[in-house]
Amino acid sequence: MTSKTNKPEVPTNKRLQLNLRLDGREDLVEAIKATAETKGLSVNSWVVGLLESATGMEPTNTAPTGGDLEVAVASVLDKLLADKLVNIKSELKAELLGESAA
% of the chain beyond a pLDDT of 90: 32
Residue type, 93: K
Residue 12 has pLDDT above 90, yes or no: no
pLDDT digits (tens, 9 = 90+) for 28-68: 999 999 998 888 888 988 899 999 999 998 877 655 566 66
pLDDT of residue 92: 92
**Residue 75 in this model has a pLDDT that exceeds 50:** yes
Mean pLDDT, residues 68-96 taken together: 86
- Residues 40, 64 contacting (CB under 8 angstroms): yes
pLDDT at 1: 46
Q: What are phi and psi of 8, to 5 degrees?
A: -60, 135
Which residues are within 8 A (CB) of 59 and not within 5 positions of it... i.e. 6 or more apart? 49, 52, 53
Q: What's this model's pTM, rounded to 2 decimal places?
A: 0.47
pLDDT at 17 over 70: yes
